[in-house]
Amino acid sequence: MLKKIFVLIGMMSWAGWAVAQVNISAHTDKNMLTLDDELTLTVQVTGISGNIIMPQLPSLPAFNVYSREVEQNTINGNTTLLFRYTMLPRFVGNTTIGPIRFTYEGQTYKTEPISIRIYRNNTTATSPSAAKTKTPTPQLDASLPPLEKSLTKQAYAKSSEPFFLVAAVSDTNPYVNQSFILAIRFYYSKAFYEAPYQKPTVSNLFMEEESPREGTQNINGVLYRYQEQRYLLTAAAPGKATIGPASVHYRVGSSPLTAFDRLFGGAAISPEKTALSSPISIQVRELPSGEPSSFYGGVGSGYTLVAQATPQEVQAGEAVNVTVTVKGPGNLKATQNLTFPSMDGFKIYPAAATSGTGTSPTGNLYSYKNFKAVLVPVSSGIYTIPAIKWSYFDLQTASYKTLQTTPISLTVKPTSKSERAFDFSGSSPSTENGIQALTNDIAYLKTTRAPDENLLKKLSRLDTLNWACLLFVCIGILFTVVGRKPLERKKAFVTAKNQLKQADSSQRIAEALSTYLQQKLRIHTGSLPVKEITTQLHQKGVTPATTEAFLFLWQRLEAERFAPADVSTPSAINLPQEALRILKLMEEEIQ
């Protein structure tokens, strides 16, 4: 008993130690930027409890930190801390954000260094011809990557607008299966309200979404903020590929919080406007001939290949799990599955390959693919899993390169398991076929006369009648459950319509709307602020335009409570008709 108690205490201590494991990681939203941009550094700490402890940042001579944010989440006693630092670069060149340290309960944890490249500002120069038209010509940093150059040129071309959208790719002539970047930026120099984003459509391309990022840019003396969304694209087949326009639908102004804002100079919301990016055409190149037999479609640079086998010492007939993992910057989902070489003395059972994506500490997206197989040795001995080859087309050298794994040694021992089988060679004095009965495992019960059938058993034989009754019950339940909701919804609209016909004040109109929302959508307007009501309308399927119309009407009705007016006056004569129009729109949208 005492031993069990010690074991239990040990397990509880180990569980507490496992839960209390502290991890710290750091990443930036970009690893290259210009002097007029900004960088966001995010530090995540998990596995702690108690009060917030700030991490120790390294010396940052290349940056000025001007903003700090802390976010804390606690689940089951385990706390996750997110520290976000917004920084401005100070000089051009390559720099490194050193290890960030975090000390907890006497132990110090640290992150990996992060490399950052800072480019020169996007300056402008005015040529004699440009001086006449007063159109500045951007003089870009020669070392700026093509993607950033294209985004900046488009931004300067549209800098006369306070809101605009630009898009660019890192390569307009990629190879098949080559991955490249699509970046879409929404620039704005003024405040806006509600700007939903619609991503572009693509053809002959695979598209993986990366994490969004943001920043600033000084264009012609005007400071713009931008929201950027990046995608990892992979060309599917040779020929033409297209990227359609992305769009942002925005409104200028801010949403009023109360009826008083509208009565006493609240900011108005403009009609919806749309910012569109230009479509992009891409010509996909076919890979050159001469690919090796171990080429499965990988294109890119910096791939790694690793193989492992577990266990490496088995008995004959036991399984060995072999996993080959390839990892790199390209998209490996579209590549073919690796073929395992045959091995004498083994049965090989390949398994389905699995693939996925991850993010490096610098924020770059990479992909991986795992190839698995089960090897079963049929006899004992010392064996070697030969080197497994995997080739790819290297973009830097425009040639095929081959990676191979390290051979793995396996030790197979004779099996220690004895298998017993039936002996059919023996004879038995009671049988002539060599099979001997050892014992009987079936005991027969004494039979008795069954009782006469009762009325319920006789009725159970009437299959047609039983099924007819069951069908009738199901139809009744269906009408009760399904038919009841449409009836309640229709009744809610009819009730509200009758109330609006008899409404002689704004109070009666508001009551009709409240009754409809409560009966139809289960929204209780009496206990919710206007903002929460509009949020629930969105969740119920009401379109933003109808929701906005309801919001203006509801605020008008609230204003009438503080400045009462007769409904027969011209200012309020159309309120019941407007309420009925909105209800009809809701009826159509939430059916």
Cβ–Cβ < 8 Å for 187, 297: no
**Rounded-to-integer distance, Cα 283 and Cα 57, Å:** 46
Give which of 226, 216, 213 is closest to 38, Cα–Cα: 216
Joined tokens for residue 567: 């409904």
Cβ–Cβ < 8 Å for 428, 435: yes
Average pLDDT over residues 174-188: 93
What topology does CATH give the domain 128-284? Immunoglobulin-like (2.60.40)
Longest dimension (CA), the chain: 121
Mind listing the pLDDT tens digit for each residue in 51-69?
778 899 999 999 999 888 8
Q: Is the pLDDT of residue 366 over 60?
A: yes
Mind listing the pLDDT tens digit for each residue in 483-531?
455 556 568 888 888 888 888 888 888 888 888 888 888 787 665 666 6
**Rounded-to-integer distance, Cα 228 and Cα 222, Å:** 19
Burial 92-126 (b: 16+ CB within 10 A, else e): beebebebbebebeeeebbbeebebebbbbbebee
**Rounded-to-integer distance, Cα 537 and Cα 515, Å:** 15
Is the dihedral angle over the CA atoms 344, 346, 347, 352 positive or is it negative?
Answer: negative
Q: Is the pLDDT of residue 362 over 70?
A: no
Residue-level pLDDT at 295: 93
Give which of 424, 433, 341 is closest to 384, Cα–Cα: 341
Q: Is the pLDDT of residue 292 over 90?
A: yes
**Rounded-to-integer distance, Cα 213 and Cα 28, Å:** 10
Report phi then psi at 575, rounded to 5: -65, -45
CATH 2.60.40.10 domain span(s) along the chain: 20-119
Question: Whole-number mean pLDDT of the chain?
Answer: 79
Highest mean predicted confidence (pLDDT) among 64-73, 538-547, 555-564, 568-577: 64-73
Joined tokens for residue 157: 């071309």
Cβ-proximal residues to 481 (8 Å cutoff; 6+ apart), any chain: none
Question: Three-class SS of residue 418?
Answer: coil
Report phi then psi at 260, rounded to 5: -65, -30
Q: Is the pLDDT of residue 327 over 80?
A: yes
Joined tokens for residue 6: 């010690």
Cβ–Cβ < 8 Å for 250, 276: no
Give which of 444, 590, 454, 442 is closest to 516, Cα–Cα: 590
Cβ–Cβ < 8 Å for 250, 194: yes
- At 552, the pLDDT band (50, 70, 90 cuts) reads confident
- At 418, the pLDDT band (50, 70, 90 cuts) reads low
Residue-level pLDDT at 29: 86
Cβ–Cβ < 8 Å for 241, 202: yes
The alpha helices in 484-568, defined as continuous H runs, are 484-501, 506-521, 530-539, 544-562
Whether the link from the prior residue into 361 is cis, omega within 30° of 0, is no
Residue-level pLDDT at 183: 95
Q: Is the pLDDT of residue 31 over 60?
A: yes
Tell me the percentage of the chain whose pLDDT exceeds 70.
74
Cβ–Cβ < 8 Å for 159, 219: yes
20-119 placed in CATH 1.10.10.10: no
CA 207 to chain centre: 13
Q: Which residues pair with 139 in a beta bridge?
A: 123
Residue-level pLDDT at 284: 95
Joined tokens for residue 110: 């640290």
Q: Is the pLDDT of residue 536 over 70?
A: yes
Strands 179-188 and 222-235, how do they pair? Answer: antiparallel
Query: Which one-letter DSSP state was computed for residue 243?
Result: E
Q: Is the pLDDT of residue 365 over 80?
A: no
**Rounded-to-integer distance, Cα 486 and Cα 488, Å:** 5
Residue-level pLDDT at 409: 93
Report phi then psi at 368, rounded to 5: -145, 160
Helix, strand and coil in the chain, % to nearest 5: 25, 35, 40
Distances in whole angstroms, Cα of residue 140 to Cα of each of 117, 146, 156, 162: 16, 11, 11, 22
Q: Which residues pair with 298 in a beta bridge?
A: 392
Tell me the percentage of the chain whose pLDDT exceeds 90.
31
Residue-level pLDDT at 20: 52
Average pLDDT over residues 225-239: 92
Mind listing the pLDDT tens digit for each residue in 247-288?
999 888 655 444 444 444 445 567 888 999 999 999 999 999
- Taking each helix axis as running N to C, give the angle between helix 544-562 and helix 575-589, from 0 to 180 degrees, rounded to the nearest 10: 150
Residue-level pLDDT at 89: 92
Highest mean predicted confidence (pLDDT) among 102-111, 400-409, 489-498, 560-569: 400-409
- At 463, the pLDDT band (50, 70, 90 cuts) reads low
Joined tokens for residue 258: 């109360």
Whether the link from the prior residue into 311 is cis, omega within 30° of 0, is yes
Residue-level pLDDT at 13: 46
Burial 519-533 (b: 16+ CB within 10 A, else e): bbbebebeeeebeeb
Cβ-proximal residues to 328 (8 Å cutoff; 6+ apart), any chain: 298, 300, 301, 302, 303, 304, 366, 367, 368, 392
- At 559, the pLDDT band (50, 70, 90 cuts) reads low
Element (H, E) at 578: helix 575-589
Q: What pTM was estimated for this model as a whole?
A: 0.58
Q: Is the pLDDT of residue 75 over 80?
A: no
Residue-level pLDDT at 131: 45
Strands 304-310 and 346-350, how do they pair? Answer: unpaired
Q: Which of 45-59, 89-103, 111-125, 383-397 is least confident?
A: 111-125
Name the one residue in this structure whose structure tokens are 């039936």.
422
CA dihedral of 584, 586, 589, 591, whole degrees rounded to 10: -90
Average pLDDT over residues 174-196: 89
Q: Is the pLDDT of residue 465 over 80?
A: no
- Taking each helix axis as running N to C, give the angle between helix 530-539 and helix 544-562, from 0 to 180 degrees, rounded to the nearest 10: 160
**Rounded-to-integer distance, Cα 20 and Cα 110, Å:** 17
Average pLDDT over residues 15-31: 73
**Rounded-to-integer distance, Cα 502 and Cα 491, Å:** 17
Q: Is the pLDDT of residue 70 over 60?
A: yes
Give which of 174, 176, 180, 179 is closest to 145, Cα–Cα: 180
Joined tokens for residue 563: 């400045």
Average pLDDT over residues 537-545: 82
Cβ–Cβ < 8 Å for 336, 240: no
Joined tokens for residue 90: 């100070």
Q: Which listed CATH number (3.90.550, 2.60.40, 1.10.3470, 2.30.30) goes with 299-413?
A: 2.60.40
Residue-level pLDDT at 192: 81
